[in-house]
């Protein structure tokens, strides 16, 4: 056996030089690890609608990014053309720009390459906030007349966004207020209510409908099942409702209406003496096959435009749908009808109750055709229709 440098065997020396990790491995062999079990995964389902929505969102995002990049480049070029020239804005322009800048934040403003630095925009915003709570210029309560003029100017400006200070000044002069146009302009400037010259005024749907409310009517059909000699028969009821007053007219009831019948109903509606549409200009209807070309031409000849609704959009004719729900839930669904004559009697009784006895919440709980005000004194009585199915409570005049 060969000896080492200190008189020991080389095998013992080699055994001492073995690293501790090797001895550890020999003494404590690693445990066998089992491979993880994989849970069965559900097969991927193909959803065309989800794919279409994601693709549309990606396309819109790309279009918006391109538009933003164009505006950034345009701002940089404009800054290069201006150089070190200072852009002076008035108070109203600073307010509009600071209000829009606070929605973006400092970091995003730096990326946009705006004409003004983010610190400038934020400083304007802080100045506006501080001015809101600055009471140093208040020397006491303002006169009542000045407060009333200010409130009236703000009210007119908010209710009529397209009006300028000249129009409002004319309205105030007509009401008897002795105020100059400079005062009206200053009030609108302080509250940022002057119309933006770069932003054209757009009419809202609420304003559009209110301006045409008294000229719009809507029509629709609803079905009624009645027993007859041939069994159960379905009848179609054609009605027209006035949107402003909720007044309803039953135009006709027929088991199988045709184009000739629809044309005759159109003539009855546009009769110059007592037609329901004699003062109307628009008639809303759905895309049913009964609204034929000849039916629309008959209405157009009398000055009424037949406005066809989009496909699968019943919510665009809610007033007619609400009347159908009311007449069915309050009357027709609670009765068994026999023949066309019975249908006409029941519907006429309900329409009479609907127009002259039933209060309507949308009209402030008023009756549509109430000729005389309801008395507030006297005994309470009940008027019944259809055997007590429809009731109306009133006070008998003493």
Query: Do 257 and 353 fall within a single domain?
Result: yes
Alpha helices in 115-164, H assignment, sequence order:
118-132, 144-159
| Residue 234 sits in the same domain as residue 285 | yes
**How many domains would you assign to the chain?**
3
Counted residue by residue, the chain has a size of 398
Q: What phi, psi does 308 have (nearest 5°)?
A: -85, 135
CB distance 121 to 136 below 8 Å? no
Domain limits for position 166: 144-190
Asked whether residue 290 falls in the same domain as residue 247, the answer is yes
How does pLDDT run along the chain (398 residues), one tens digit per residue? 444 444 444 444 444 444 444 444 444 455 454 555 544 544 556 566 676 677 767 777 777 777 777 777 777 777 777 777 777 777 777 777 777 777 776 677 666 656 666 677 677 677 777 766 666 555 555 565 678 888 888 888 888 877 888 888 888 888 888 888 888 888 888 877 776 555 555 666 677 777 788 889 999 999 999 998 888 999 999 999 998 889 999 999 999 999 999 999 999 999 988 899 988 899 999 999 999 999 999 999 999 999 898 887 778 888 999 999 999 999 999 999 999 999 999 999 999 999 988 888 888 888 888 767 777 777 888 889 998 898 888 877 76
Q: Give domain status of residue 344, yes or no.
A: yes
Question: Which residues have CB under 8 Å from 265's CB, separation 6+?
Answer: 238, 251, 252, 295
Phi, psi of 122 (to 5 degrees): -65, -35
Same domain, 180 and 303: no
Q: Please tell me whether residues 177 and 300 are part of one structural domain.
A: no
HSE-up (13 A, CA, CB side) for residue 220:
20
Q: What is the CA radius of gyration of the chain?
A: 40
Looking up residue 314, the CATH number of its domain turns out to be 3.30.420.10
Provide the β-strand partners of residue 285.
308
The reply to whether 226 and 355 lie within a common domain is: yes
What CA–CA distance (Å, rounded) separates 291 from 156?
43
Same domain? 286 vs 349: yes
3-state SS class at 6: coil
């Amino acid at each position: 056996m060969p000896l080492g440098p200190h008189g020991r065997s080389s095998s013992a020396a080699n055994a001492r030089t073995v690293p501790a990790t090797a001895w550890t491995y020999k003494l404590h062999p690693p445990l066998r690890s089992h491979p993880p079990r994989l849970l069965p995964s559900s097969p991927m389902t193909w959803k065309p609608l989800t794919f279409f929505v994601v693709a549309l969102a990606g396309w819109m995002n790309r279009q918006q990014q391109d538009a933003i990049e164009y505006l950034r480049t345009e701002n940089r070029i404009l800054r290069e053309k201006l150089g070190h020239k200072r852009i002076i804005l008035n108070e109203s322009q600073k307010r509009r720009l600071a209000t829009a800048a606070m929605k973006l934040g400092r970091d995003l403003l730096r990326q946009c390459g705006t004409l003004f630095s983010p610190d400038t925009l934020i400083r304007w915003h802080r100045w506006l906030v501080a001015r809101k709570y600055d009471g140093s210029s208040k020397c006491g309560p303002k006169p009542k007349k000045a407060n009333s003029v200010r409130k009236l100017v703000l009210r007119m400006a908010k209710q009529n966004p397209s009006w300028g200070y000249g129009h409002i000044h004319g309205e105030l002069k007509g009401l008897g207020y002795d105020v100059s146009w400079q005062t009206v302009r200053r009030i609108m400037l302080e509250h940022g209510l002057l119309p933006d010259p770069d932003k054209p005024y757009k009419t809202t749907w609420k304003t559009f409908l209110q301006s045409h409310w008294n000229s719009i009517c809507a029509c629709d059909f609803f079905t009624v099942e009645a027993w007859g000699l041939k069994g159960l028969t379905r009848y179609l009821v054609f009605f027209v409702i006035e949107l402003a007053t909720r007044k309803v007219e039953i135009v006709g009831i027929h088991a199988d209406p045709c184009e000739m019948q629809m044309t005759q109903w159109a003539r009855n509606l546009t009769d110059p003496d007592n037609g329901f549409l004699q003062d109307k200009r628009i008639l809303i209807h759905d895309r049913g096959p009964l609204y034929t070309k000849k039916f629309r031409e008959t209405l157009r000849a009398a000055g009424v435009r037949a406005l066809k609704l989009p496909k699968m959009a019943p919510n665009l004719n809610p007033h007619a749908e609400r009347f159908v729900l009311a007449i069915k839930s309050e009357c027709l669904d609670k009765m068994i009808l026999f023949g066309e004559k019975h249908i006409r009697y029941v519907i006429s009784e309900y329409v009479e109750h609907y127009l002259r006895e039933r209060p309507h919440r949308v009209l402030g709980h008023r009756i549509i055709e109430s000729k005389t005000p309801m008395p507030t004194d006297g005994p309470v009585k009940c008027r019944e229709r259809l055997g007590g199915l429809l009731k109306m409570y009133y006070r008998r005049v003493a």
